[in-house]
Amino acid sequence: MPDKSGASFVGALSTRSSDNPADGHFFWLYKALHEYQARRGLRVPTVIGPDKTDSSFIVPFFKGNLRRLEFRVNPIIALNYGMNRLSQALDERARHSVHQYFSYDGGLSDYWVVYGLALRKADIDFVFNFHWADQWLALTDSKKFSGVLLTKLLQTTIQNAPQNLRFSAETKVLAKKLERSLFKELEIFPIFSAVSQRQLRAWEDREIHVLFLPQRASELDFVARASRSLESENIRVTIAVKRETWDRWGDERSKSSIKSPVILPIDGSDYEELLASTRIVVLPYNKPYFHWGSSGKFNEAIAYGCFPLVPRETAISSQSSGDPEDHEFSYPDQKSLLKVAKQILKRTQPIQLKPVTLEDFVEWMNRNPPPKSTSSRVKAWAAHSALLFAASLYREGGLTTAIQKAKKSAFARLEGYSKRSSASKL
C-alpha cells in the first residue's frame, strides 16, 4: 500500500536479528535489505528486533530472553512480546510508508505474534515463513496429545487466516511436507543475496578451484579428507571457516595438513574477493535442519558466479534455477565430491544460474495474494487464543514428557530430603 508519493517499504519482525556480522544471515539479510531501502528513501530502521542492539537497521524492541524461545509459548511469554506496544509501533512506522512485514526466522511464538497482528492490522500485509524445519516437523508429526491438538489449531488458524497474511516455507521440499499436515499450499520464501549486479570474473581467471565453507566442527573431518583427494588431482583448494568452529575441531593431525585456512569473519571486500576468485563452492553441511531447510550461502555463491555443491541428502539444491541434481554429491564420500567437481571444472564456462536478488524479494513481497475462500474472523480469533494455551502444553515431546520431568524432579527432591533427614538423625 504505497503512500501518495508511491513509496512503499518492507519491514521485518525478528527476535533473532543481530548487529553482529558473525551471526550470519541474522545480520547480513536484514542489513542488506535496510541499505537497499534506505537508498530509496526509507527513514526508519527496517527491522523491529531485540532490545540491547546498537544498529541503524534494527529498532530495539523485543526482550532478549525471547531470542531462543521460538517454540516456547505460553500466556506469560506472550506478554513479553508487548502486542499493544507492537501495534502502536506499526502504526507509527506506517506513517513512514512501511506497509508490509515478514517474519523470516519464524517459529511457533512468531506465528502467534504475526497472526495476531494480521487480525489487528487489516491495512498492513504480513508474510510468515516456516523457518525452523526440524522443529516444525517434530510438531506436525507428533502423535502426542499436545502436538496433535496444536497441529489442529494451526490448521484452523491457517484456513481462517485474514486476507493480509501469506505463508511460506524455506524450500520446496519443506513446503510439500508441511502442506500435507497443514492442508495449505505454501509459497517458497526467496532467500535473496545482497550482492549487487556486477560484471562477473571470467571462469578461467578464477584461481581457487574449490572453496569449502563448513559450518560445524563435525564437518571438518570430511573437508580434510576431500581436500587431500582434490589436491592429489592438482585441484586448488581453499577452506574458509569461523574461528570458533576451527578451534572446536579436535583433530590436530588433520589440522596441520590444512595449509593457511581463511579464518572468518573477514572484511567484506576480502570476502567478496574470495568468492569472486572461486569456481566451485562446497557447502558440506551435515546439520539435520538442512534435510528440509535452505542456505543463503547457496544463493550467494551463485550471485558471485560460483557453482555451489551440497550433500544429496539435503534440500538445499532445490533452491537452484537449474537442475538440482547438478549440485549434489554423496556426503561424506570424498570420491563422489571429486567426481562431480572434476566434471564441473572440465567446463570452459559454468552452467548459467540465476540468483535471487533483493529486487526479486521486494517484488515477491509486493505480490497481491490470491483471493481466499470465505473465512471466519470469529473462528480466527478463537483459534488464535486457543493456540496460545495449547502451545503451553507443548514442550520437548509434549505434556507427557513435561509430567515425567516434573515427577523425576519431585522424586529427586524427596530423595534428597530423605537423605538429609537420615543424616540428621545419626
pLDDT score recorded for residue 198: 73
Q: What is the pLDDT of residues 228-277, one digit of tens each?
A: 999 999 999 999 999 999 999 988 888 888 989 999 989 989 999 999 99
Name the nearest CA neighbour of 40 among 117, 98, 127: 98
**Residue 313: all three cell numbers together:** 541428502
4 DSSP 8-state letter: T
Residue 153, pLDDT above cutoff 60: yes
Which is it for strands 187-188 and 165-169: parallel, antiparallel or unpaired? parallel
Residue 326, pLDDT above cutoff 70: yes
SS3 426: coil
* Residue at grid coordinates 504475526: 114
pLDDT score recorded for residue 172: 94
Q: What's the pTM?
A: 0.87
Q: Give the span between the Cα atoms of 150 and 154, in whole angstroms.
A: 6
Q: Phi and psi dihedrals of 164, rounded to 5?
A: -90, 15
pLDDT band at 350 (very low <50, low <70, confident <90, very high): confident
Q: Give the span between the Cα atoms of 184 and 180, in whole angstroms.
A: 8
pLDDT score recorded for residue 4: 43
Helix (H) or strand (E) holding 223: helix 220-231
Q: Which residues pair with 318 in a beta bridge?
A: none
The structural domains of the chain, ordered by start, are: 9-192+363-402 (3.40.50), 203-355 (3.40.50.2000)
Q: Alpha helix (H) ranges present in 261-374?
A: 268-276, 296-303, 334-345, 358-365
pLDDT band at 382 (very low <50, low <70, confident <90, very high): very high
